[in-house]
Amino acid sequence: MKANGERVIVGMSGGVDSSVSALLLQQAGYSVEGLYMFNWAEDEQGYCSSAEDYQDASKVCENLNIPLHRADFSKEYRERVFEYFLREYASGRTPNPDVLCNREIKFKSFLDYALKLGASRIATGHYAQVAANAAGGHELLRARDANKDQTYFLCTVPESALALTLFPVGGLLKSEVRAIAAEQGLPVHDKKDSTGICFIGERRFRDFLSTYLPAKPGPICCRKEDGSVTEIGQHQGLMYYTLGQRRGLGIGGQRDAGESPWFVVGKDLPSRTLWVSQDSQHPNLRHRRVKTEAMHWIGAVPTLPLRCTARIRHRHADQACVVSEDGEGLLVSFDQPQQALTPGQFVALYSDKRCLGGAAIAETTA
């Protein structure tokens, strides 16, 4: 980061990462302003923590003596992220709204808003790094703190948006970020990291989802070794379950002591059947290949087929694979079988420290 008086607007979440980001930019000589995004309207039960977070962001900006803007993106969030979230669950898939929130809100709505305010760039508290390449483009790189790296969630952000973004804490460890915040007297230095999805808050996921999607009960079935099918229970809706799930199935009494737990191994929407098995190595839970939807590349598009690594969940260990073209999407072939890959999840591709981009999983194959 170069000190040049450039006007930068920081997305202030009320947490320690965005707060330290604003501090570091200020110390580097940037003309810094903050912006708090209201992405979810408070419901009547007050589950979203936006009011408290806004107050924390205000205290930090007051401490740093920088202005704090407010912007309401709840309409855009509902249309571009939440409606997608509901459609995916209704179709039996497992979505990741955080990936869409970054692409559609933080690096689109927020970026557009900041540019209209006269900023030349934006900054966020994400643990990631951006670097210019020899071709004049920009690449998304992993954060120094491997445990906090958030490039998986940024894998579909446009390169044009990354070119206008600063990630001040991307080269720091989380412990260093907290130490800086404490040393500088920022009021959020010991604030707990946020987890989960804002619009769900502390509610049980099932309770939240049932308020938006009607529950459609059906049978829980397993297939015996002789091929016969046995119904062992009833579920309240396929949308409440994901492939590989073993908790909350409500069929614990169907196994004897010492036997293996039940796992979700399939969902059949037409018959509303939830398929389960006690085989943790069930073929439906082990996949060597996935077909993706259209791939979003960041930076130069590599020549295919390509040997690289893939991350199929946040903080999941990189998995060696070969990527090749497959219609409008890609075929990702893993060296080792992967556990419980699910359509709707995102797969992010990597070449060493560089995140090449990402795509949603369309289907899985053995």
Q: Give catalytic residues, as residue numbers.
A: 101, 198
Percentages helix, strand, coil for the chain (3-state, rounded to 5) are 25, 30, 45
Burial-class residue 288 by CB neighbours within 10 Å (0-12, 13-18, 19+): middle
Give dist(CA 204, CA 201) in Å, integer.
8
Residue among 123, 144, 158, 103 at smallest CA distance from 17: 123
Give dist(CA 366, CA 362) in Å, integer.
14
* Long-range contacts of residues 56-61, Cβ cutoff 8 Å, at least 24 apart: 56/14, 56/15, 56/187, 56/188, 56/191, 57/12, 57/13, 57/14, 57/18, 57/19, 59/187, 59/188, 60/12, 60/14, 60/19, 60/22, 60/34, 60/186, 60/187, 60/188, 61/12, 61/22, 61/34
DSSP conformational letter for 124: -
* Phi, psi at 174, each rounded to 5°: -60, -40
Q: Are 242 and 248 in contact (CB under 8 A)?
A: no
Residue pointed to by tokens 């709840």: 74
Q: Are 225 and 242 in contact (CB under 8 A)?
A: no
